[in-house]
Amino acid sequence: MPDKVRLGFIGAGWWATSNHVPILAARDDVELAGVCRLGAEELEQVRSRFGFGYATEDYRELLENCELDGVVVASPHPLHHEHAMAALDAGLHVMCEKPMTTRAAHARQLVEKANAGDRHLLVPYGWHYKRFVQRAKARMDEGVVGEIEYVLCHMASPIRTLLSGQEFDVDQDSGSSESALFGPDVSTWADPVKAEGGYGHAQISHSSGMLFWLTGLRARSVFALMSGPGAEVELYDAMTVRFENGSVGSISGAGTVPVSQGFQVDLRIFGDSGVLLLDCERARMEILGHDGNTESMDLDPEEGAYDCSGPPANFVDLISGATDVNSAPGEAAMRGVEVLDAAYRSAESGREEPV
C-alpha cells in the first residue's frame, strides 16, 4: 500500500463536492488521484479547486488511466450499479452513495462482487457514526432487546422543493459547512425517469440502511402506499414489511418538513426482552427492558444533527488498514434496497410484493 490512499471519484456534483471531496482533500493520507463527471467546464472547476491529478468525462478512462486504491461513486442514482460494478471489477474498494442501487438484484450483485474480491463496500450513512447510534449498535449486537418482533422506522426531511422540481436552497439541506461548488441537478431528484423514484430512494435509503444495520433483519415482502401531491415523484411513503424471522414492521417517510426544521429519524425496535428507542431529531437513545431495567444516554439535543464526515474517514481507514470495522456496510444498504424495490412495485401493483 502506498503512503497515501489513492482515490478516484465517479460523479462530482453538489453533494460530492460539498462534503466528500473537501473532507478527503483535508487528509494528509489521501491522494485525490482522479475525477470523472460530465461537462468539461464543471470538470475543470472540480479538478482545479481540489487538485485532482487526472480528470475525464469517461469513467472507463478514469479506471484505466489512474492508479487507484478506491473509488467514490456519487453519480445519479440509476447509474450507481454500473459505476460501482466497474470499480469492483477493477479490483478497487468502493464507497457508493445512497441508494446503493435502485434495483434489488443490482444491490445483491455489488455485495457478492465485493465479498468475492475481498473489497470494502461502504455506503455513506452519516448518522451511523454518531456516538449514541454507535452505542445502540453495540447494545443490539449484544442482543439487548432479544428476539425482534416489531420495528418502526420513520424519516422526514425538508426537501419538498427538491422533489417537486423547484429551486432548492443548498444551504438549507447540505449538512456540510463547505461552500457548494454546484447546486443539485433537480431533474435527477424530481424526474420519475431519471430518479426512478422519489422520497424512498432519496431519503428512506438512509433510515432503512440504519434499521438493517442495527437489527440484522431481512425483508420477505412489502405492501406500500405512496403519494406525491404537487410532484411527479412520491413525497410520502407508507410500507408494511414482513421480515424473514417472522416479525413485522412499518417503514415510513415524508419529504415535507418545513425548511426551517431539521431531519426526523425515529427507530423503535421491539423485542421479547425489551425495546430500543432511537431518535436523531431529539438525540435520544433509550433501552427499556421487560425486566424493569432501563438504559439511556445523556445527550445534547443537537447531537443528532446530520453530519457526513464519518463515512469518508471510515472508507480511507478501511483501505489503509487502520480499522477493520465498516459502520455503513453494503450488506445493510442492500437490504434497504430490497425493501424499496418491493415497495415501488407494490405501490404500482396494489399488492403485497415479495422481496
pLDDT of residue 176: 46
The verdict on 215 and 158 lying in the same domain is yes
pLDDT of residue 2: 73
Our count of domains for the chain comes to 2
The verdict on 115 and 134 lying in the same domain is no
The verdict on 252 and 317 lying in the same domain is no
Q: What percentage of the chain carries pLDDT values higher than 90?
A: 92
At 34, list the grid cell: 482522479
- The band of 187, judged by pLDDT with boundaries at 50, 70 and 90, is confident
The verdict on 32 and 118 lying in the same domain is yes
pLDDT at 327 over 70: yes
Cα pseudo-dihedral 70, 76, 81, 84, rounded to 10:
-10
Question: What residues have CB less than 8 Å from 122, skipping those under 6 apart?
Answer: 94, 95, 96, 311, 314, 315, 318, 326, 328, 329, 330
**Across 125-139, 141-155, 185-199, 216-230, least confident range:** 185-199
Query: 104-116 vs 80-89: helix axis angle to the nearest 10?
Result: 10
The verdict on 96 and 114 lying in the same domain is yes
Q: What percentage of the chain carries pLDDT values higher than 70?
A: 96
pLDDT of residue 158: 96
pTM metric for this prediction? 0.95
At 353, list the grid cell: 410484493
The verdict on 138 and 274 lying in the same domain is yes
- The band of 170, judged by pLDDT with boundaries at 50, 70 and 90, is low
- E strands, 11-139, are 30-36, 55-56, 70-73, 93-96, 121-122
The per-residue pLDDT for range 85-98, each reduced to its tens digit, is 999 999 999 999 99
The verdict on 318 and 344 lying in the same domain is no
Bridge partners (DSSP) of residue 221 are 242, 354
Domain that holds residue 98: 5-126+311-326
pLDDT at 175 over 90: no
Distance CA 192, CA 48 (A): 34
The verdict on 245 and 144 lying in the same domain is yes
Kindly report the CATH number assigned to the domain that includes residue 141: 3.30.360.10
pLDDT of residue 178: 53
The better pLDDT of the pair 120, 194 is held by 120
The verdict on 12 and 56 lying in the same domain is yes
Buried b (16+ CB within 10 A) or exposed e, 216-250: ebebbbbbbebebeebebbbbbbbbbbbeeebebe
The per-residue pLDDT for range 237-249, each reduced to its tens digit, is 999 999 999 999 9
Q: What is the distance of C-alpha 335 from the center of its chain? A: 12
